[in-house]
Structure 1
Amino acid sequence: MKHTPISRRDFLKNLGIAGAGTLLAASPWLSAFSEVMNTSNEKCRLAIIGPGSRGQFLMGFLAKNPKVDIVALCDIYKPSIESALKLAPNAKVYGDYREVLEDKSIDAILVATPLSSHCKIVLDAFDAGKHVFCEKSIGFTMEECYRMYQKHRSTGKIFFTGQQRLFDPRYIKAMEMIHAGTFGEINAIRTFWNRNGDWRRSVPSPNLERLINWRLYKEFSKGLMTELACHQLQIGSWALRKIPEKVMGHGAITYWKDGREVYDNVSCVYVFDDGVKMTFDSVISNKFYGLEEQIMGNLGTVEPEKGKYYFESVAPAPAFLQMVNDWENKVFDSLPFAGTSWAPETANENKGEFIIGERPKSDGTSLLLEAFVEAVITQKQPKNIAEEGYYASMLCLLGHQALEEERTLYFPDEYKIDYLNHQSVKTPEAI
C-alpha cells in the first residue's frame, strides 16, 4: 500500500497553529507539535505486538520515521511475521509478548492484536515501564477500559489510542469552527459507516478460522460497534465537549448469514443531557452512502469526512434564474390545483464550501503516530488524548451492550472521568 502522508510542517502551516489558542483549545493534543522540540538525535525503540494487517499498515508509516527503530515483532501467526519483517528486517521475533516486555531497551509497544487480548497486554506493559499505543477499542469491556486508563494515570506512562481523526486537518478545523459558534447551536449529529463485503479474510486451514477472522466472533470481538463506531462516536463528544448520558438501539444479522456471531446491521441513538441526539448506523451489505458525520446546527451543517460545510441561508439565485422562477410560480399559481396543508422539504441544493481546500492525502494516521513518537521521546503526555480514546471506547461498548440487552442504558457514573480539567502529564522520568 502506498502512503502519502501530509508533512507535519505543512499540516501546522495550513491550520495556522502557531499562536492559535482557539485551535489548541479545540484540539489540545496538538501540544505535541506546538513547540519545536530538539529530539532530532533521539530514537524511540518500538515493539509491534500483533503485526497483522492493521499492525503492518501502521508500520508502513513508522518505518519511514527517522526517529523510530522497530526493534521487535511479536505474533503467533508466522505469515504475519514474515510480511512484517519486510518492513522491519532487523527486528527480533517473539512468540510471547511477555518476553518483549522483559527487554529493558524497548521504550514502547504498539498493540494491534484482537480486541479481547488488549487489556492484559497493556496492563502488563505499563507495569513493565513501557509506553503504549493501543489500537481501538482499547478494552473488551467498560471495566477493562477503566482499568487500562487508571493504570496509565498511576504509572505516568504515555498512552495513545488509534483515534486518527484527532490529527485529521479536516476534523480539527471543523471542530474549531463548531466551538467558535460558526454553525450556531448544535442540535443533532448523524453518523454512519456503510460497506458492502463479508469482512472475511482467507483462511489457509479451518483450524485458523477464529484466529484470522476474530472480528466475526463474540469471544474476541464486538463487531461494528468496536471496529467502526469507535471513530465516529468520538466526534460527537469532541464537538459537544461532553458525553451522552444514555443509549438505545438495535442490532441484527440481516444479510451475511455465514456462521458469524456479530451483527452486520446496527443502529444506535445516543442522547445528551439537553436532549441533543447522536445516531450511529452501519450496514455491511450496501456501501452507497459510505461514511460520514453530519453535525447540524441551527445556522449550518458540517461534514468533516467530505471536508465541507453548508450554511442554512444561501445567496439568492442569479437575476435571470430568479425571474424564471417567479414566472413559473405565477403560471402554476393561476391553475386550479387543490391546495396542500404542507410543503415538502427536500435536501438543500447548496454545494457548500471546503473546510481547508483540497482534501488531504492522509486521514491523520501518520501524524497520530508521529505525535506518539514525540511523546515517548519527550516523555510528555499530550493533554486529553488518552481521555478522548477512553471515552470513544466506552461509548461504543455501552452501545453494544444496549444492542445485546435490547434496552436503554445510562452511562455508569463510576466510569466517568473529568478529562476537560486534566493537564498535560509528565512521566516520572521526565520530572
Structure 2
Amino acid sequence: MPHDNPLTRRAFVVGSAGALAAAAPLPAMSWARVPRANARLRLGLIGAGGRGRYVMSFFQKDPELDVVAVCDVYDANRDQAIAKAPGARPYGDYRQLLDAKDVDAVLIATPDHWHAPIAVDAMRAGKDVYVEKPLAHSAEEGRRIVRAQKETGRVVQVGLQQRSGPHYLQAKQEYIDTKRLGKIVYVRTWWHGNAARVVRPPWTTQPAGLDWKQWLGPARARPFDPKMVVNWRSYFDFGGGTITDLFTHWIDVAHWYVGEDLPAAAGAMGGIYQYADGRDAPDTVNVLLDYPGGWSASFAASLAPGATGAGVELLGTEGTLYIDRGRFVYTPTQKDAPPVTVPWPGDQTEQHVANFLACVRSRGTPNSDVVSGYRSCLTTLLAKQSYVEKRRVAFDPARERASLSD
C-alpha cells in the first residue's frame, strides 16, 4: 500500500538495530565482567518451558552465540531445551547456572514471581539479562531490579518486543513523531482470548522430575496443583492474569508513543464468569487509566469462548492510528483522505533478541530498557490492585520518579 514516507522493512531492521546498539559510555565495572571482545557470546536459559524454548530459538540465529546452559525445575522441560541446544549443561537450580563462569547472559522465561529474584541475582553475578514481561511481580520488585541494573551496569532487555518491531518503529516515526494524529486523547486497547490461560493439565498428580518446592520458590507453600503449573498466569501468587500479562504489551506501546509512562489513577472491573476453576485472575476485565498529560487509556479482555482479537488504537484530534503485531492503519480525520495500511508479517521477538545481543556487544541501551519496562509493568500492577481492592487507585507520578532518582 502507498504511504507518504516509504521506508523498507530492511531499512527499519538495520536502522533500529544500529541506532539503538550505538556505543554508550561504559559504566564503572571491571573489564572482567564485560563480554570478551570479538568472542562468542554464551547464553544460559532459565525457564525452559514453551516460551523459553521459543525465544531461545531466536538467540540461536546469531552465528556468534552458543547456548551453554539450561535450567528448569522440571526435567522434561530441560530435556526438550537441550535437544534444541546439544551440549548445553542441565541445571535444576538457577543459582548454580549463575555460578558458571562461562555464561555471559541469561534468558529468563520463568513464571512472573521468579523474574525479580533471578534477574537481580543474575546482574550481581555479572550476567546481562533478557527477561520476559512483566518485569516484576510487585512494584517493590520492579524498583529492586531497576536499582540493581543501575548499580551493576548490566544490559537488561524486557521482553516487550513491540519496541523492536519494524512497523511499530515506522508508525511511530511517520505518524507519532510528526504529530499527524494531533493531540492523542485516548488509547483504546484490547486482547480477547488466549489459549495459554485455559490449558488442560497433562497430569493429575505431581509428575516425577518436577521440583514443586523450587517451582513455588518465593510464593507461599501449598500442596501440588497441576492447574497452577499450566495456568500459572491466572493465579495472583504467580502472575496477574491478562492485566499484567497481555495488557503490559499494549500499555507499553501507548507509553512509548504518547511519551508519558506513569498514570495518575487506575480502575478495573470484571470477574471470573466462565472459568471458575480456582483461579484468582478475572477471565473478563475492563481497565481504565488516567494520565496527568490529559489522556486516558483502556483495556478490555475476555477469555469467553469465541472472544478474539487484539490491538491498540490511538485516537487523536487529527487522526487515528490502529496497530497490532501484523499491521498498522492510519486514518486521517479528513473525510476525503483515504486510510493508509502497512502490513508486517513476522515476529518482533526476532528483532528484539537481535537488539539485545547488539547492546550486549556495544554496551548500549536496549529498546525496552529496564525503566520503561518497569513503568509499563507498574501501570498494570496498579490496575490489578484496583481489581483486587475493588476501588479506584490514585497514584503520584512525581513521587514515583523521585523514588528511583536517589
If the length of structure 1 is used for normalisation, what is the TM-score?
A: 0.78
Q: Distance in 2 between matches of 1:417 and 1:75?
A: 37
What are the superposed Cα offsets for residues 39-69 of structure 1, whole Å, 9 maximum, x if unpaired? 9953221100001011011012112221221
Q: Please point out which of 257, 280, 284 is paired with 1:265.
A: 284
Q: Is 1:98 aligned to 2:95, yes or no?
A: yes
Q: Please point out which of 247, 252, 272 is paired with 2:266.
A: 247
Map of 1:224-373 to 2, 5 A cutoff? 224-243=242-261, 244-305=263-324, 306-315=327-336, 352-355=339-342, 359-373=343-357
Q: Which amino acid aligns with 1:200?
A: V
* Secondary structure at 1:381 match in 2: coil
Aligned-pair CA distance for 1:16: 8.5
| Deviation >6 Å, runs of 4+ | none
Q: Which amino acid aligns with 2:335?
A: V
Query: Structure 1 residues 418 and 181 mapped into 2: Cα distance closer, same or farther (>3 Å)?
Result: farther
Unaligned runs of 5+ in 2: 1-6, 24-35, 207-224
Query: Structure 1 residues 216 and 67 mapped into 2: Cα distance closer, same or farther (>3 Å)?
Result: same
Aligned-pair CA distance for 1:34: 5.8
Q: Which amino acid aligns with 1:307?
A: F
Q: Which residue of 1 aligns with 2:401?
A: 416
Aligned-pair CA distance for 1:12: 4.6
Q: Is 1:185 aligned to 2:183, yes or no?
A: yes
Instruction: Decide whether the 8 Å contact of 2:192 with 2:309 is kept in 1.
Output: yes
Aligned-pair CA distance for 1:187: 1.1
* Secondary structure at 2:84 match in 1: coil
Q: Which amino acid aligns with 2:180?
A: T
Q: Distance in 2 between matches of 1:281 and 1:63?
A: 36
Instruction: Decide whether the 8 Å contact of 1:107 with 1:376 is kept in 2.
Output: no
Q: Distance in 1 between matches of 2:375 and 2:402?
A: 9
Instruction: Decide whether the 8 Å contact of 2:13 with 2:351 is kept in 1.
Output: no
Instruction: Decide whether the 8 Å contact of 2:22 with 2:362 is kept in 1.
Output: no
Aligned-pair CA distance for 1:11: 3.9
Q: Distance in 2 between matches of 1:190 and 1:282?
A: 12
Aligned-pair CA distance for 1:242: 0.9
Most deviating of 111-120 and 238-247: 238-247
Aligned-pair CA distance for 1:175: 1.6
Tell me how large the CA RMSD over aligned residues is.
2.5
Aligned-pair CA distance for 1:119: 1.0
Query: Structure 1 residues 196 and 156 mapped into 2: Cα distance closer, same or farther (>3 Å)?
Result: closer
Q: Which residue of 2 aligns with 1:213?
A: 231
Instruction: Decide whether the 8 Å contact of 1:309 with 1:354 is kept in 2.
Output: yes
* Secondary structure at 1:173 match in 2: helix
Instruction: Decide whether the 8 Å contact of 2:68 with 2:87 is kept in 1.
Output: yes
Map of 1:87-126 to 2, 5 A cutoff? 87-126=84-123
Aligned-pair CA distance for 1:251: 2.7
Instruction: Decide whether the 8 Å contact of 2:275 with 2:283 is kept in 1.
Output: yes
Q: Which residue of 2 aligns with 1:135?
A: 132
Larger radius of gyration: 1
Q: Distance in 2 between matches of 1:81 and 1:196?
A: 25
Instruction: Decide whether the 8 Å contact of 1:189 with 1:277 is kept in 2.
Output: yes
Q: Distance in 1 between matches of 2:308 and 2:368?
A: 32
Q: Which amino acid aligns with 2:139?
A: M
State how many pairs are aligned: 362
Q: Distance in 2 between matches of 1:282 and 1:236?
A: 17
Q: Distance in 2 between matches of 1:201 and 1:88?
A: 28
Aligned-pair CA distance for 1:194: 0.4
Instruction: Decide whether the 8 Å contact of 2:40 with 2:66 is kept in 1.
Output: yes
Q: Distance in 1 between matches of 2:13 and 2:362?
A: 24
Query: Structure 1 residues 377 and 15 mapped into 2: Cα distance closer, same or farther (>3 Å)?
Result: closer
Aligned-pair CA distance for 1:86: 2.1
Q: Please point out which of 30, 41, 45 is paired with 1:44.
A: 41
Q: Distance in 1 between matches of 2:39 and 2:180?
A: 42
Q: Distance in 2 between matches of 1:409 and 1:46?
A: 40
Q: Distance in 1 between matches of 2:313 and 2:286?
A: 16
Most deviating of 359-368 and 152-161: 359-368
Q: Distance in 2 between matches of 1:164 and 1:417?
A: 28
Q: Distance in 2 between matches of 1:394 and 1:43?
A: 35
Instruction: Decide whether the 8 Å contact of 1:309 with 1:353 is kept in 2.
Output: yes
Aligned-pair CA distance for 1:274: 3.9
What are the superposed Cα offsets for residues 186-234 of structure 1, whole Å, 9 maximum, x if unpaired? 1111000001655224332333512333222222111111210110011
Query: Structure 1 residues 269 and 47 mapped into 2: Cα distance closer, same or farther (>3 Å)?
Result: same
Q: Distance in 2 between matches of 1:128 and 1:389?
A: 21
Map of 1:399-410 to 2, 5 A cutoff? 399-410=383-394
Unaligned runs of 5+ in 1: 1-8, 18-23, 317-349, 422-431
Instruction: Decide whether the 8 Å contact of 1:133 with 1:160 is kept in 2.
Output: yes
Q: Distance in 1 between matches of 2:194 and 2:126?
A: 42
Most deviating of 380-389 and 259-268: 380-389
